[in-house]
Structure 1
Amino acid sequence: MTVPPRGYELVLPPGWVRIPLRDGTKEALESVLFSHMGQVPEGIPRDEAMRFRLDVRRQIEKQARAARRNGGLDLYLPVLPRGGIFLMASFIVAEMPLGQDRAAPPEAVLAQLAGEDGTDGSAARVEVAGAPALRRSYQSVPGTEEPRSAPEAVPQAAVQQAAVPARRIEYVIPVADDPGRWISINFSTPGDGDLDSEFTGVLVELFDAVVGTFKWSHE
């Protein structure tokens, strides 16, 4: 008898951290604040550094609470600058209450989800961890309604205080050897302000590469 996985694993880019949303959230936030945030953006005076870190923590806590309410398992975000720049991006791994028949084959569910994609985005069948999955790409604009079958990732609140247009990528993945269970991996970034720029595209490629390292864990 095949045993369903107990979790999953991902290889993160340098400077990115995982914030668990079910257990250990407080400890992870403390680690981000005191262990990972040794640098602050240029222009912030040294005597304002601690206030900046505390503001970041409050923003991440708010982001984590919203993700947890929507079935989030883990929140991932960058906390160290790359090339002197703090990236505005994040992604969330979440459980998906699809309400599908547990006996329905994953291929049929994915085909239905792909057919539900709106005109504002695109959907493609892909493989994740050697199994069929769905990748959806779209853009969001503040104040518009975008119903989706899974929670959406929230841009990094530490460096993005107000809602702005964002590029979003969503992977929908069936849980291995556990019929009827699904997870989503939801990425969001405003990029450099231009959702079609090369820089924004690089961030999307970085996220796709991270998903390419996804594998199930039985430990």
Structure 2
Amino acid sequence: MSTPDTEQQPPAVEVTAPRGYELILPPGWVRIPLREGTKEALEKLLFSHMGQVPEDIPRDDAMRFRLDMRRQLEKQARAARRNGGLDLYLPALPRGGIFLMASFIVAEMPIGQTHAVPPQAVIAQLADEDIPGGTATRVDVAGAPALRRDYRSTPDEGKLSSAPEAVQQTALPTRRVEYVLPVADDPGRWISINFSTPGDGDIDSEFTGVLVELFDAVVGTFRWSYE
């Protein structure tokens, strides 16, 4: 007795999650890895260039300026790593005699969603969260749905009044932009790309707006890497 022919199914296509990501940086910006090699990268890419200081810093204050900058950058890197940071991006050299006060961090997000929750549902929930003085916009990043949040951050005046004078001088209002996106082909995993800048001291100025546009352009080059 012959058996009926069975229709052959095409072999299953194995879906591979990305091993990393790529993006194009503006001239003068550098990447500081946060999981390993952080100290070496800071020394090679940033601290070795600290012979230059802003033109408005008196020569007698140059050493203090460099030490303060070094401490702040090391502190920023440690804080970013504790918060799931993968990479920290900073402008390494002054442009036109001006040091850009800006940075952005790529970090893993502890959203903790189950595999059954579609990314669109997570984004919708995040978009509904209240952002005082800010906006949330659904966008596409690397061909997938994502969320862009834009808001202002101001120092807590109560806490600031009791802080050391050096901290008070560096605690400025900042413009922040955050992109939240799912990791391709890896359900349940998410990353954020967080940008922060005090701009020129006025977070609503044209100069600050240009820095935000620069960051948006960088995110526009974001691609997943499978190598």
**TM bracket, shorter-chain basis:** 0.7 to 0.9
Distance 1:194 1:50, change over 3 A: closer
Which string of whole-angstrom CA distances, capped at 9 and with x for unpartnered residues, describes residues 123-160 of structure 1?
1110101111000001111118xxxxxxxxxxxxxxx9
1:55 deviates by: 3.6
Amino acid at match of 2:180: V
Partner in structure 1 of residue 189 of structure 2: 181
Contact persistence 2:131–2:151 (CA under 8 A): no
Q: Distance in 1 between matches of 2:194 and 2:151?
A: 11
Q: 1:174 to 1:196 in 2, by over 3 A?
A: same
Residues paired across the two proteins, number: 204
Q: For structure 2, list consecutive stretches of 5 or more residues without a partner in the other structure.
A: 1-13, 158-167
Corresponding residue to 1:211 among 191, 206, 219: 219
Q: Does 1:142 align with 2:150?
A: no
Q: Say whether 1:32 aligns with 2:32.
A: no
Q: Given residue 92 of structure 2, which amino acid in structure 1 is its aligned partner? A: V
Query: What is the SS of the residue equivalent to 2:176?
Result: strand
> 1:8-56 CA distances to partner (integer Å, 9 max, x unpaired)?
1111111111111101101101112454445322245668756644442
* Aligned twin of 1:191: 199
The answer as to whether partners of 1:71 and 1:95 remain within 8 angstroms in 2 is yes
* Matching residue of 2:72: 59
User: Equivalences for 1:62-101 in 2 at 5 Å?
Assistant: 62-101=75-114
1:8 alignment partner, SS class: strand
| TM-score, normalised by the number of residues in structure 1 | 0.86
Q: Find the counterpart in structure 2 of residue 130 from structure 1.
A: 143
> Structure 1 counterpart of 2:31, which letter?
R
How far, CA to CA, are the matches of 2:190 and 2:212 in structure 1? 22
Give the aligned CA root-mean-square deviation in angstroms: 2.0
Structure 1 residues 161 and 14: CA distance shift in structure 2, 3 A:
farther
Stretches of structure 1 lacking an aligned partner (at least 5 in a row): 145-159
SS at match of 1:176: coil
202-211 vs 49-58, which deviates more?
A: 49-58
Structure exhibiting the larger radius of gyration computed from Cα positions: 2
1:41 and 2:41 are equivalent in the alignment = no
The change in CA–CA distance for 1:103 and 1:161 in structure 2 (over 3 A counts) is farther
- Give per-residue Cα distances to partners, 1:83-112, cap 9 Å, x unaligned: 211111111111000122221110111011
TM-score by length of 2: 0.83
Q: What SS does structure 2 have at the residue aligned with 1:120?
A: coil
**Could you tell me how far apart the structure 2 residues matched to 1:218 and 1:167 are?**
33
Between the aligned partners of 2:184 and 2:143, the Cα distance in structure 1 is 10
Q: Give the structure 2 partner of residue 6 of structure 1.
A: 19
Q: Distance in 2 between matches of 1:161 and 1:27?
A: 29
**Runs of 4 or more off by more than 3 Å in structure 1?**
33-38, 43-55
Amino acid in the other structure paired with 1:133 = A
